[in-house]
Amino acid sequence: MKMEHFLKNTKAEESHGCIIAQETTIMVVAHNLGFPRIGANRELKKAQESFWAGTISEAELIEVGRELRAKHWALQKNAGIAFAPVGDFAFYDHVLNVTALVGAVPPRHANASGSTADLKTYFSMARGDAGVPAQDMTKWFDTNYHYIVPEFADTTKFAIADESLFAQVSEALAAGLRPKPVLVGPFTYLYLGKEKSAGFARLSLLPALLEVYAAILDRLTLLGVEWVQLDEPALALDLTADKLELFASAYARLAKHGPKKLLATYFGDVSDHAALLKSLPVDGIHIDVVRAPAQLDSFLVDLPSTKVLSVGVVDGRNIWRNDIRASVALLQKASSSLGERLWVAPSCSLLHTPVDLANETKLDAEFRSWLAFSTQKLAEVSAIATALTSGEAAVASQLAESDAAVASRKSSVRVNNPEVRARIAQLPANSDARQSPYPVRAKAQAARLQLPRFPTTTIGSFPQTAEIRKARADFKKGTIPEALYVEKMKAEISLVVERQEAYGIDVFVHGEAERNDMVEYFGEQLAGFAFTENGWVQSYGSRCVKPPVIFGDVSRPKPMTVDWTTYAQSLTKKPMKGMLTGPVTVLQWSFVRVDIPRSETCLQLAVALRDEVADLEKAGIAVIQIDEPAIREGLPLRRKDYDAYLEWATRCFRVNASPVRDDTQIHTHMCYSEFNDILPAIAAMDADVITIETSRSDMELLTGFGTFAYPNDIGPGVYDIHSPRLPNLAEMLQLLEKAVAVIPAERLWVNPDCGLKTRKWPETENALTTMVAAARELRVKYPAA
Ligand SMILES: CN1c2c(nc(N)[nH]c2=O)NC[C@@H]1CNc1ccc(C(=O)N[C@@H](CCC(=O)N[C@@H](CCC(=O)N[C@@H](CCC(=O)O)C(=O)O)C(=O)O)C(=O)O)cc1
Ligand SMILES: N[C@@H](CCS)C(=O)O
Ligand SMILES: [Zn+2]
């Protein structure tokens, strides 16, 4: 240990003229904002789905939850993490947990007792139940995690309605741990909700909500909790002065209640609010210095001596190993000035990274050395805190490993591909434009495709049955040969084609049976990508994804979808849509390299996918869909950054989509998001047809498309594929009438909200038959001129 550092981090006492150093009296704290709840082997997913299927009891599900919490707390304690986060566990979603806790249950889900403690009410809010629609689900900021949107009305009343949080605090205390409850803060909770009654602003409910938060905090004090973490990521968004005032008033109201409060911000730069945050009656502030490193100084200056500063220096959104030497250097000044008031943490909850790298058995040693999953990130946080407390020598081996990984990644020949760089540099200037404008293309496509008015189509995937998944798992394990796997997938494609013929669909899809996931499937076939065996991350409820890792320059070694698509086309005379995932979505749903700008990686993806589009056209495919559901999610959190992002994102889409003739029809598809604030950019993508999710919002989302006069064809979803609930003909017709009111009939398509992969066949059959019937009625009511 360097003497200089040692003295800086110890309290020196003078005794009889000698300086006696008392080691470890000043310790930088290592803590965590939240741990993934799914379990290293997706135990939670399996238990949830078994419970919903009726094969395990509620008690068994609850027991799985208890075991996971105990395991995750022990893991964090053993890694040297100071507190046990409580409240990061959820049987569906942590925002829904707050809804249950504060009793904000929409009347349609309320039970007689008014309590939300029962899982039936909880899951009814999340998934709908017996004809009662679920609450909306939307993206958690710019992540691929979806939360259940709280619903507020002028009649909403709050009261503590669920004991789970308190019970879990007791659970942690009984295990000898120091629980730190983690709750979405009151401002963010209201901000992320939606209004269900007219002429009312949800933030007007803040005073009433704060009464309940105050009561919750008091209960936590009574239980002996030292610290509570209140997450306010909404601070990373654009907030007007009156909103900030409300935010400040909320914390003033809570000042006298509860344990010490750590106010956690993440996902962006909150330095504009530094003075405000430092003045609040809270005991600590967490900032994300992975996303916004420059904000550290704003918080170090004049931080009141009563407050701790928690610095999120380990990336909670990506899987790259931390450069521990750089992190320690970044925090050295903070450590010297704050001592034990400095807390080290991941940038945000670890919800967004896989559980444990130890579960990967197939990664080569070099690549593996570049990675850290949640479990490894805890060790990194701990090592950084130890280095700051006791000097770098105390973590010599972790430092050496981290140094070696940083050096190996920088110099690896696997990362840079000169051919890819040259192709991008030579991309012709017109590669981002179709040959003719939409009206000309529309005529050419109408002549080629001969579609009826209100053409029906689906979004791509058909039910991914247990048999399909088993076949893929067997093929991956090597227990069935490739030929048999291909045969099984072809049989599935042929079944899907047959059924679409029977339903009377106009533009067919092959069903995506061969795809494990719409992004991972392409990642597995593109160069520059790596993929994991078990790197699961929760997307919503029990649904998980395994984001591929983009570590180097991206290229396409060979066609990826052409064989499956042409096989499907060979089975029918109806047009078969080629089905691709677009560059922005592949980027957004992968773990992305950080050594070059995201826009550059996106363009590499666009060029690789462009070649696939050209090959599909060459193979005779007349309609190609390029899914971009994540284009809205990738939007920066601050408006000032929108234009730059939308400029490169839409260009990448056009580069992908534009190598084709006028009579080849390009579709795109978007879901899960509010699109109205990016309509000009959606129009700039210049897809011939866009299919979008609208049914959950009762076509509300479509109004913007009408007002903006979106110029090309639109297919607003009429079937909410996220819910087991089936809409009847009258409901579909009502939705379509709303669409006809804002979009000219000749430009309307009829389709579900999104792919059908999560649905079962009987529901699919019922919904699509009804959908075709609805389109046929409209054709009669609004015949072509
Ligand atoms: C459209 N959405 C997507 C998002 N992100 C993506 N990357 N992909 C998306 O499609 N974001 C927004 C939305 C909503 N999100 C989702 C996310 C996930 C699902 C979903 O259905 N996930 C499946 C897992 C899909 C998958 O990768 N399957 C693999 C592995 C299957 C598996 O679990 N195998 C078993 C063995 C099976 C056996 O032997 O029988 C195992 O490994 O243990 C595959 O099919 O090969 C999920 O189940 O969570 C939907 C919407
Ligand atoms: N083609 C994909 C889009 C999902 S957003 C599917 O149908 O599943
Ligand atoms: Zn979708």
DSSP calls for 267-328: SS--GGGHHHHHHSS-SEEEEETTT-TTHHHHHHTT--TT-EEEEEEE-SS--BPP-HHHHH
Whether 17 has a pLDDT exceeding 80, the answer reads no
Any domain includes 762: yes
What is the structure's pLDDT at 25? 54
Share of the chain above pLDDT 70, in %: 96
Ligand 3 centroid – CA 785 distance (Å): 33
Closest residue to atom 7 of ligand 2, CA basis: 755
Which residue carries 């929760």 as its tokens? 538
Closest residue to atom 19 of ligand 1, CA basis: 543
CB–CB of 743/703 below 8 Å?
no
Q: Is 630 in the pocket of ligand 2 (CB under 6 A)?
A: no
Ligand nearest to the CA of 691: 3
Closest residue to atom 20 of ligand 1, CA basis: 543
- Active-site residues, by number, are 722
Which of 17-26, 258-267, 357-366, 568-577 has the lowest average pLDDT? 17-26
Any domain includes 161: no
Name which residue leads in pLDDT, 134 or 651.
651
Atom of ligand 2 nearest to the CA of 459: 7
Q: Is 579 in the pocket of ligand 2 (CB under 6 A)?
A: yes
Annotated binding site: 45, 144, 459-461, 512, 543-544, 589, 627, 669, 671, 693, 754
| Residue 657: band (very low, low, confident or very high) from pLDDT cuts 50, 70, 90 | very high
Any domain includes 162: no
Ligand 2 centroid – CA 100 distance (Å): 31
What is the structure's pLDDT at 115? 58
Q: Is 739 in the pocket of ligand 2 (CB under 6 A)?
A: no
Buried b (16+ CB within 10 A) or exposed e, 111-148: eeeebbeebebbbbbbbbbeeebbbbbbbbbbbbbbbb
User: CB pairs under 8 A, 24+ apart, for 116-121?
Assistant: 116/161, 116/162, 117/161, 117/162, 117/163, 117/164, 119/51, 119/58, 119/61, 119/91
Atom of ligand 1 nearest to the CA of 466: 40
Closest residue to atom 3 of ligand 2, CA basis: 755
Q: Is 461 in the pocket of ligand 2 (CB under 6 A)?
A: yes
Whether 9 has a pLDDT exceeding 80, the answer reads no
Any domain includes 307: no
Ligand 1 centroid – CA 196 distance (Å): 32
Query: The domain that contains 588 carries what CATH number?
Result: 3.20.20.210
Atom of ligand 2 nearest to the CA of 629: 5
What is the structure's pLDDT at 617? 98
Using DSSP bridges, classify how beta strands 284-288 and 260-264 pair: parallel, antiparallel or unpaired. parallel
The count of structural domains within the chain is 1
Ligand nearest to the CA of 577: 2
Average pLDDT, rounded, for the chain: 94
Annotated binding site for L-methionine: 459-461, 512, 627
Which of 130-134, 182-186, 326-330, 552-556 has the lowest average pLDDT? 130-134
Ligand 1 centroid – CA 545 distance (Å): 5
By most ligand atoms within 8 Å of CB, the mutation choice from 352, 524, 539, 579 for ligand 1 is 539
| Residue 698: band (very low, low, confident or very high) from pLDDT cuts 50, 70, 90 | confident
498 contact partners, CB below 8 Å, separation of at least 6: 571
Structure token digits, residue 615: 């090959």
Ligand 1 centroid – CA 544 distance (Å): 6
| Residue 173: band (very low, low, confident or very high) from pLDDT cuts 50, 70, 90 | very high
Any domain includes 193: no
Whether 106 has a pLDDT exceeding 80, the answer reads yes
**Domain encompassing residue 656:** 452-781
Q: Is 463 in the pocket of ligand 2 (CB under 6 A)?
A: no
DSSP H/E element including 152: strand 151-152
| Residue 703: band (very low, low, confident or very high) from pLDDT cuts 50, 70, 90 | confident
What is the structure's pLDDT at 112? 58
Whether 379 has a pLDDT exceeding 70, the answer reads yes
Atom of ligand 2 nearest to the CA of 458: 7
What is the structure's pLDDT at 785? 78
By most ligand atoms within 8 Å of CB, the mutation choice from 43, 469, 532 for ligand 1 is 469
What is the structure's pLDDT at 62? 97
Which of 282-291, 313-322, 409-418, 504-513 has the lowest average pLDDT? 409-418
Distances (CA, A) of 613 to 161, 596, 653, 667: 53, 26, 12, 12
Q: Is 685 in the pocket of ligand 2 (CB under 6 A)?
A: no
Structure token digits, residue 654: 């056009």
What is the structure's pLDDT at 724? 78
What is the structure's pLDDT at 117? 65
Ligand 2 centroid – CA 747 distance (Å): 22
Whether 4 has a pLDDT exceeding 70, the answer reads no
Atom of ligand 2 nearest to the CA of 755: 7
φ, ψ for residue 118, nearest 5 deg: -85, 145
Closest residue to atom 6 of ligand 2, CA basis: 755
Q: Is 460 in the pocket of ligand 2 (CB under 6 A)?
A: yes
Any domain includes 398: no
Give the pocket of ligand 1 (CB within 6 Å). 144, 464, 466, 469-470, 472-473, 516-520, 539-540, 543-546, 589, 629, 672, 757-758
Structure token digits, residue 410: 């920088």
DSSP label at residue 557: S
What is the structure's pLDDT at 708? 83
Tell me the average pLDDT across 570-580: 98
Atom of ligand 2 nearest to the CA of 672: 5
Whether 550 has a pLDDT exceeding 90, the answer reads yes
Ligand 3 centroid – CA 753 distance (Å): 7
Indicate the pTM of the whole model.
0.93
CB–CB of 529/319 below 8 Å?
no
Q: Which of 519, 670, 511 minimizes the C-alpha distance to 578?
A: 511
Neighbours of 288 (CB within 10 A): 29
What is the structure's pLDDT at 114? 56
What is the structure's pLDDT at 369? 97
Q: Is 693 in the pocket of ligand 2 (CB under 6 A)?
A: no
- Taking only the tens place, the pLDDT of each residue in 403-439 is 999 999 999 999 999 999 999 999 999 999 999 999 9
Name which residue leads in pLDDT, 44 or 720.
44
Any domain includes 221: no
| Residue 13: band (very low, low, confident or very high) from pLDDT cuts 50, 70, 90 | very low
Q: Which of 636, 525, 643, 649 minimizes the C-alpha distance to 582?
A: 649
What is the structure's pLDDT at 8? 37
Q: Is 548 in the pocket of ligand 2 (CB under 6 A)?
A: no
Tell me the average pLDDT across 596-607: 98
